[in-house]
Amino acid sequence: MSGARHPSTTAAQAALDNVGAELRNRVLPWLQTREGLASAGMAAVVLWILWAPVSAPLLTALLCAAFAVVIVSLGARLWEARTAPPAPSFSLTADVARSGVIQRDRNAGFWRDQRGFLWDRRVWFAATGCPPCRLRPQTYRLLRAWTEESDLPVFIVRRRGRQCWWWRSAFYWESGDYSPQELRTLLLMLDRDDLQGLAWELTLHPAKPVPEAVKQAVFQRDGGRCLVCGSGDLIQYTHVVPLSRGGSNEPHNVYLVCSGCNRGQTETGAPGPVGS
């Protein structure tokens, strides 16, 4: 009998773990924003008014509280849309990077403003071919910490087939889906103006970007989140078996990983996601 209960117990535990992971990765970061705090505060006020002084049924009070969250969230989205910074002309270029290309981007950079919802402080990044994208302040602080503690390039964002990186106080883009270690080797050549060596390296080991169709399939399969820690920030595509070791760009060999976990795997030699 105990053996019969074991599968259901395991399934229930897995379901609870999934709920806990969703709370940690989605709800808790949202509650740390001004939108989340305002939504939670408004929901609590509505729930208390309807349930205590008005004595409304609990279900009605909960539904009204949920409606209050929706209203605040819609207001926050409208506020953010109306206060978003204009896109610089260089960020709107329609050029598509060629495979294996790597180049320094002198247009790229971060900036801050305080025009967010309820005058929240925001951090933005834009680059050539990359319209302004917003980063959470804690994400920006994490990126800065990584650049100071290691000589590995730091992944920022992927837009229009290009990956934008931060390395030694400069910004670069590439279109080869390189790992941090691979990119560092190429950037060292570029930093030394060894263009002939860089061209030779790219000829000997041409980049094989993950096809867009595969990326879309992997993104849907992995739920748009890192398979190692569950984060939805700074997401990259990487390989279980690296291309340099005979791996392929087939979906079964590609998975999502955040920049932090990808750096950790590069430094420790971890082979891939948990359970791979």
Which tens digits make up the pLDDT trace of 29-43?
788 888 989 999 999
Boundary of a domain, candidates 60, 83, 106: 83
130-135 and 122-127 beta bridge pairing: antiparallel
Looking at the domain assignment, is residue 227 inside a domain?
Answer: yes
Instruction: With a cut of 70, say whether residue 267 has pLDDT above it.
Output: no
At a CB cut-off of 8 Å and minimum separation 6, what does 67 contact? 46
Which ranges of the chain does DSSP label H, i.e. alpha helix? 2-22, 28-31, 34-51, 58-83, 137-149, 180-191, 195-204, 212-221, 259-268
**% of the chain at pLDDT higher than 70:** 85
Model confidence, pTM: 0.79
pLDDT score of 252: 92
Q: What are phi and psi of 231, to 5 degrees?
A: -70, 150
Partnered with residue 115 across adjacent β-strands are none
Distance CA(93)–CA(203), nearest Å, equals 27
For residue 42, count other CB atoms closer than 10 A to its CB. Answer: 16
pLDDT single digits (tens) 76-126: 999 999 999 999 998 987 665 554 578 899 999 999 999 999 999 999 999
Asked if residue 194 and residue 216 are part of one domain, the reply reads no
Asked if residue 91 and residue 202 are part of one domain, the reply reads yes
For residue 243, the enclosing domain spans: 210-276
